[in-house]
Structure 1
């Protein structure tokens, strides 16, 4: 559909408009639209609903990125703490070998 609009010399359609047209042509009471709580009574309401869905998707993407960054930071902190724990363990082992008579290295 988008290719036709461009070929006819018209302005390209927004993705939401293309999806809205396809959904309204295929099934006026689309399951997708009902599940997404979008009224399919008009092309405008479908387009507006899809724009809202697109905005919601973008918001979720931003939140996901923030969560992934936090998880990466936590993983780096965990690795650093694990490394420090291993170093502490080695130091404690050396102390025990020095202070405990009869243990040879």
Structure 2
């Protein structure tokens, strides 16, 4: 079993925090660590993924790429929509002014 020994802390160096010490002791990458096996937990090994795992990883990568493309396209559509909305608001203001001017012009005629 791997042993972690206390080491003196050099001047100016911060001591390891508890989480760092624990992570060294129960690291799933440690070849001599049996903590996870004893706890009945599987650890991610350093072996190459199986064909099924590789297929799933490739499928996930494809989905993420499509998601990124959709996100970019959505942002473009949203921007075009905002620009169109602003233009529509400007046109509405112009029409309101024209109508007000016509109403004032009609009501001021004898």
Say which one has the larger Rg: 2
State the TM-score bracket (shorter-chain normalisation).
0.5 to 0.7
Counterpart for residue 79 of structure 1: 82
Higher helix share: 1
Query: Relative to structure 1, is the Cα distance of residues 6 and 69 closer, same or farther in structure 2, using a 3 angstrom cutoff?
Result: farther
Counterpart for residue 68 of structure 2: 65
Runs of 4+ deviating beyond 6 Å: none
Distance 1:63 1:6 in 2: 41
Q: Which segments of 5 or more consecutive residues in structure 1 lack a partner in the other structure?
A: 18-46
TM-score by length of 2: 0.54
Provide the secondary structure at the position in 2 that maps to 1:97: helix
Return the offset for 1:4. Answer: 2.7
- Name which of 94, 97, 100 aligns with 1:97: 100
- Where relative contact order (Cα < 8 A, 6+ residues apart) is larger, the structure is 2
Return the offset for 1:58. Answer: 0.2
Note if 1:4 corresponds to 2:30: yes
Q: Which segments of 5 or more consecutive residues in structure 2 lack a partner in the other structure?
A: 1-26, 34-44
Note if 1:13 corresponds to 2:46: yes
Number of aligned residues: 69
Query: Relative to structure 1, is the Cα distance of residues 6 and 90 closer, same or farther in structure 2, using a 3 angstrom cutoff?
Result: farther
Query: Relative to structure 1, is the Cα distance of residues 6 and 81 closer, same or farther in structure 2, using a 3 angstrom cutoff?
Result: farther
TM-score by length of 1: 0.56
